[in-house]
Structures are given as C-alpha cells and as structure tokens.
Structure 1
Amino acid sequence: MMLHLPQAKQQYSEMENKMKTTASKHREIRYFGYPIDPSLYQQVIDTITAINLGGDTRKLCEQAAETLIAITDAGFDAYYERPAQLANISSTLKRATDAGIHAVQKGIHLVIRKLIKNRSIKDLERLANNFSYLVCVDDTDASKAYACFQLEESLYQRVVANMRRVHEDPNIESYRRDVIVSVEDLIGAGIDVFYTKPVSEADIGRITRKAADIGISTVQKGSNAVVHRLFKDMDYATLLPMAEYFETLLHSEVQTYKRRFMKAGA
C-alpha cells in the first residue's frame, strides 16, 4: 500500500531514531544484505562443514560453486526482481531489463565455475571462511539468516542520507543521480566481496585470473546498465516504496555465522 508523504516521513523518522539508538548502544557493524531461506542457509553451513572436514577436492569445488551460485541467484531476486516489481515498469522495458540482467547472471555463473574449478584445499578452506563471514544471523532469532556484506561507514551514511532525501523531498530530479550512484556503489561493494576478493586471494594462473577479471568487469557494467534503465525515468511515487524496500536491506542487529557459531580460530 502506498504511503502518503507525511506518513512516510513519520515512519522514516521512527526508523531513523531506532537506528541511531541501536548504533549508540551497540556500535554495531553496518551490513547490507538480503534474507535467505532456511534451505539456502543450511546449504551454506553444509558447504562450510564439508570443506573443513576435507575429502575429494573435485566434489568440494563443485559443491562450493553451486553454493555461491545459489547465494548469487538469491541476490538477483532481492536486488533486481523485487525492485522491478516495485517499479511497476512496462512489459517492454521489463523484457529488456530481464534480458540484460539474465545475461549478467549467466556471466556470473561462468565466472564462479571457472574460478572455483580445480581449487586446492587451501583455497577451498579460505572460501569456507569467507562463507562464514558472508552469512549473518539475527541477534535475537538465529532462524533469520541473511547474505550480508559489511559496508564502510561512509557508504552506509551516504545511502541513509539519500534515503532521507527520498522521504523528505518529492523533487526527485534534484537527487536522482545521487540515488543511482549510491545503488551502483552498493553493487560495486557487493562485487568486491563476492568476486574481486576471492579472485585476488585464489591461487590461480594468469589466464584464469584474466578471464575472471573480464567476467567481473562485464558483470559490473551490465548491472549498472540495468540500474540506469530502471531509475532514469522513475517517478517519485515509485521511488518512495523502492527506498523503503532498500532500507530493509540495511542491517546493524546481526552477527556473522563465524562470530555467532564458530570459534575465532576456526
């Protein structure tokens, strides 16, 4: 249901006060991430456990790749499908953006499979450790899990400031570009965590690294193109619920699986 501007401002003010209270009490680390269902959460934990137990590295590579692909696909639902629904875009534009995003998605799958194929057990253990930081659980309800990545405070504050502008100013043209840049930067931060960092840490050959770098660059360009297509003509009535949705992806009251359930030295 669409909120009127005064209602939206009041709701946002309450949310902002809650975030300030939480930050002052706990000084929580800032995260950006989407909820994952129990089956995917269990898949991630099973993969971490299997890698740490060791065994056939070929099978472990396949399991790790499929898990990372599943996390990524859930991200496409959260970061594209849901916003596209909220945007209520025309069928013609939806087909065009679908084609672009699906090409990006297939590109990511190829990069992941190429990157993780024939990894050493040392690389897999490093990936399992990354998984343990990637999955977060709610502070008060461990059944609520998210695929999260840590945000730098400056980016977090910039996103919050832009969301505040959406709530307070219906003149979207005065800050449309800032919103687009914020979304692009969130995508870039996610790509750094999910792909750039694992590539930089992996013991891979020059040719494989170059192919992965090209794939990652293509993914980011494709994602940004879709963002521009979605946001460039979006009116205020559509942007407001979009902003409210993205606010639900900002988290402070969560802990990583590593911190919550694994020993620091594990």
Structure 2
Amino acid sequence: MRYSDEIKLFWRTGLRFFGGRFLRYMGGPKNKGQYTCREALAGKYDSKYSKINFIVPDRRTLNDDVKYVTRNKPCIMKKMIDKVSESDPKQTGTYKICVDGKKINPSSKGEVNLWGYKDKPTYCEKQSRLSEQYDFFNATKATIEKFETFGKRALVDCDQTEKDEILYRSKGVVTILSERIRDLRQLKLKKEIFFRKLIEKCSSDWRSSQFVMVISSIKTSIFKIENCIDDLLECNDNFCFIASMTG
C-alpha cells in the first residue's frame, strides 16, 4: 500500500510525539488473542475477524525519512518569527512571547529582555537608567550621612558649597521620583481600564465569576500602586521643601 507524503507526515508526527504506543493504539488489536481463545489457528488469521482501527504504515517506512519532523533544541525559532511576520506584512499586530502556551512572567526587575527587538527604550537602556538612578540615590544617602557625621543636622550649619550640593541632590531626587510617579499613574490607569472591562464581562457578582482571581489581583495591585504614589508624593514634598530652603 502506498501513502501520500501528507499521510506519512501525520504518522511520523504521531510517532515523534507519542512513540510506538501511538502506532499500536491507532492500529488496533488486530488478531491479538484469537489464538489463545482458540478463535484461530497458529499462523492462520482471517482478516474478516481482525479488529483494525487504521491501516498504519510499517515502522521502517516511517523511519526512512524523518526530514519533515526533526527535534529542535531550546532556542529562538527565527523561522517561526518570520512566518508570523509574513502573515502580518504591515506589522499592525501586537504579539507576546510565550513558552508552552503560557505568558512569560515579568522578571524581578520588571521586564523580559527581548535583545533590542522592541520599541525604545529597550530593556538594556532601562536597566542602565535604573543603575544610574540607584547610584545617584546611594550618593545622596552618603552625602546626608557625611553631614550627620560632622554634626550638621540643619542648613544653617552648612556653608554655601554644601548647600549647593544639597540643592543639586534634592533636584535630582525630585526629578527621579516625579518620573516614577508619572509611570505609576500610567500603570494604574491601564489596570483600571482592564479592571472595568473584566467587571463588564461578569453577568452578576464578580466574586462568583470565573474572573474572581484576576480581578482580586488587579484590585490588590491598584491598592499597592496608590500607596506607593502617596509615599513618593510625600517624599517629593520634603525634598522640594529642602531645596527651597537652600535657595
């Protein structure tokens, strides 16, 4: 019996995924057990009584050519990315990278590195900015500790050079925190929009709907963002007051 390439591809794929048990199951029991039950003589089996599910190709036939189904080691499948790109020539779609059908979770620092294949600012640029801001905060902390070491706990105890340094540090902190407040407000707005969409999908009480877990998570996230914004605003006010006193 001859099989088309498309049919052989089906059987090779099943063999790759599930092994020999796939072929045995799809082939069916055939004449198995008939000799034991004395329904047939040894070596003489009537095809009329054979229990066959599908006519499965011989294993040697399937092993002859495996170019259609090859094992891929873990990697970025650029051919698959090209296929997606070809299906969307105008690049109007938005796609998310997934592993086994699951969305990739954000990393501990907020994002997953896409090696520059995303809109600006890239992951590396954000990490570089974060590192610079972290160093600036550490330097500001060291400046405050230095003044405390010399017993200078009030601005009146500082000379003009020290006041200029305090003003410079205060402006830098206010700038960084203001950017963070802006980003958090934008994030909060996105979560609130998503939250309202989920509530609209709930026909009755959302606490008994299928979205209860994600809605609860979003509400908690919004609450934390609001608290963080309040803390940053208070911190900003304090540094603005300090900066005004040095002027």
Task: Give me the TM-score of the superposition, normalised by structure 1.
Answer: 0.26
- The higher-RCO structure (CA 8 Å, 6+ apart) is 1
Greater share of helix: 1
Larger Rg over CA atoms: 2
Task: Give me the TM-score of the superposition, normalised by structure 2.
Answer: 0.27
Greater share of strand: 1
